[in-house]
Amino acid sequence: MRIASAEALGFTFDHDREPLSYCLIRVTTDDGITGWGEACDSFGMTYASVIEAAVSDAFAPLLVGEELDSIDRLMHKLRSWTRRRLGHTWVASQALSGLELAMQDVLGKARGEPVAVMLGGSLDPVPVYASSVFLGEGDPDWHVELLGPLLRAGVRGVKVRIGVDWQSDLETLAGLRGRLDPAVDVMIDGNENFTVDTALVVAGRLAELGIGWFEEPVLQESPAAMDAMAARSPVPLACGEHMFGVAEFEEAIRRNWATFLQPDASTCGGLAEGMHIAAAGHRAGVRVVPHSASGPVALAANLHLAAASPTIGLLEYPYPLAECWATIAPGCPLVPDRVVDGALTPPDVPGLGIDVDFEAVRSRPYQPPAPRSGPSTQYAGNV
């Protein structure tokens, strides 16, 4: 079974709240098997055309014609031939992750096994938490209503996002916390918005509210800021959606940056790398809770990662994106009404279990982001 083609397919989906771009990866073999992967930049794929170019110009020529016998061997080839030119993080890692997922999908289909089982795991249901929107988008009652379907499905954890107007957001958070069942855990995503000083003020209020974790409060690429938060935060910290490869996670473990590590198989290097990260976290006594905030293939991959690893007991579930999943993958087994008793079950079919409608993808051309002017405040660690 040889690889016949490998390509990236960017598209933009017009969600009710705002358009969001994504990037799927398609690998085909000479005996007619198609595998689907996905590359994610932490929330969809803003610059999908960059991933398309990386795959078509750099990685596909190294894969086409290769025997798909060992994904580890092929990933080593891709990394070793491109490391000195493209590096091994950010865009390169995102593209490589999508390719690895597509090859895992092919291999699972060829062997007649779900990927989680192929990796040595099971198809047991995986508990999920509801990953929601920015606090500033509505009042506490509005957020409760938005979360309602998942709460009624038994989900026992929710995450909301705090923005640059953090004082107002904290008031909304207090109202939301008071309206939710005390048994429901609440987590906060800081989106790397804050300076250390501001993040510590926010963290103090989060501690008063009993918040479960404070995710990405400061710029992750600032080790000094991460060290300061690790030393002084009164609430547990979480990070990992912008980390690439097991070595970066091992460094985070060594420096005690987080109580919760959040690898994403569509970003960190793929499923095999995700398994290594889960094992590293287990050895260090750090919980691993995979990140997921993109299309159906990325979610399926992270679900299989959680099911394959005996040490992962919780998965992010980005339910506001579900309209996209149902549209480009009709019959998608991951939509909200498939959440039962707060958990999602991996598809019991060969591969990752997502049947992508190619025409539905191609009918939604990729739209580059509109130019922006002025200094950045959001996601810049300067609030």
In this structure, what are the phi and psi dihedrals at residue 261, rounded to the nearest 5 degrees?
A: -100, 140
Tell me, what's the pLDDT at 378? 74
Mean pLDDT throughout 49-77?
Answer: 99
Q: Are 90 and 246 in contact (CB under 8 A)?
A: no
pLDDT in tens, 196-210: 999 999 999 999 999
Question: Which of these, 184, 120, 117, lies nearest to 151 by C-alpha position?
Answer: 184
Assess whether pLDDT exceeds 80 at residue 27.
Answer: yes
> Is residue 188 located within the same domain as residue 150?
yes
Q: What gap in Å lies between CA 351 and CA 353, rounded to an integer?
A: 5
Assess whether pLDDT exceeds 70 at residue 50.
Answer: yes
Helix locations, 187-318, DSSP H: 196-209, 223-232, 245-254, 271-284, 296-308
> Is residue 104 located within the same domain as residue 169?
no
> Is residue 302 located within the same domain as residue 158?
yes
* Percent residues over pLDDT 70 in the chain: 99
Residue with tokens 């906060």: 188
Q: Which domain holds residue 149?
A: 117-351
Q: What gap in Å lies between CA 256 and CA 362, rounded to an integer?
A: 44
pLDDT in tens, 215-259: 999 999 999 999 999 999 999 999 999 999 999 999 999 999 999
Residue with tokens 């038994």: 154
> Is residue 307 located within the same domain as residue 197?
yes
Residue with tokens 């099971």: 122
Q: What CATH number did the domain enclosing 80 receive?
A: 3.30.390.10
> Is residue 175 located within the same domain as residue 41?
no
Q: Within a domain: residue 359?
A: no
C-alpha distances in Å from residue 237, one per residue of 101, 137, 188, 199: 28, 24, 10, 11
> Is residue 109 located within the same domain as residue 121?
no
* End residue of a domain, out of 113, 138, 170: 113
> Is residue 153 located within the same domain as residue 99?
no
Rg (the chain; Cα; Å): 20
* Percent residues over pLDDT 90 in the chain: 96
Q: What CATH number did the domain enclosing 144 receive?
A: 3.20.20.120
Q: Within a domain: residue 364?
A: no
Q: Are 236 and 214 in contact (CB under 8 A)?
A: yes
Q: Within a domain: residue 10?
A: yes
Q: What gap in Å lies between CA 108 and CA 103, rounded to an integer?
A: 9
Tell me, what's the pLDDT at 372? 78
Question: Which of these, 139, 146, 60, lies nearest to 103 by C-alpha position?
Answer: 60
> Is residue 90 located within the same domain as residue 168?
no
> Is residue 98 located within the same domain as residue 164?
no
Q: Within a domain: residue 278?
A: yes
pLDDT in tens, 157-195: 999 999 999 999 999 999 999 999 999 999 999 999 999
Tell me, what's the pLDDT at 70? 97
> Is residue 125 located within the same domain as residue 271?
yes
pLDDT in tens, 256-284: 999 999 999 999 999 999 999 999 999 99
Q: Within a domain: residue 147?
A: yes
Tell me, what's the pLDDT at 14? 95
> Is residue 266 located within the same domain as residue 156?
yes
Residue with tokens 């070595």: 247
| The two structure tokens encoding residue 55 | 């795959």
Tell me, what's the pLDDT at 132? 98
Secondary structure class of 336 (helix, strand, coil): helix
Tell me, what's the pLDDT at 200? 99
Q: Within a domain: residue 377?
A: no
pLDDT in tens, 292-332: 999 999 999 999 999 999 999 999 999 999 999 999 999 99
Concatenated DSSP letters for 205-236?
Answer: HHHHHT-S-EES-S-TT-HHHHHHHHHH-SS-
Q: What gap in Å lies between CA 338 and CA 100, rounded to an integer?
A: 26
pLDDT band at 373 (very low <50, low <70, confident <90, very high): confident
Q: Within a domain: residue 79?
A: yes
Q: What gap in Å lies between CA 188 and CA 252, rounded to an integer?
A: 20
Domain count, the chain: 2
* E strand or H helix at 322: helix 322-328
Q: Within a domain: residue 320?
A: yes
- pTM for this structure? 0.97
> Is residue 245 located within the same domain as residue 101?
no
Assess whether pLDDT exceeds 90 at residue 375.
Answer: no
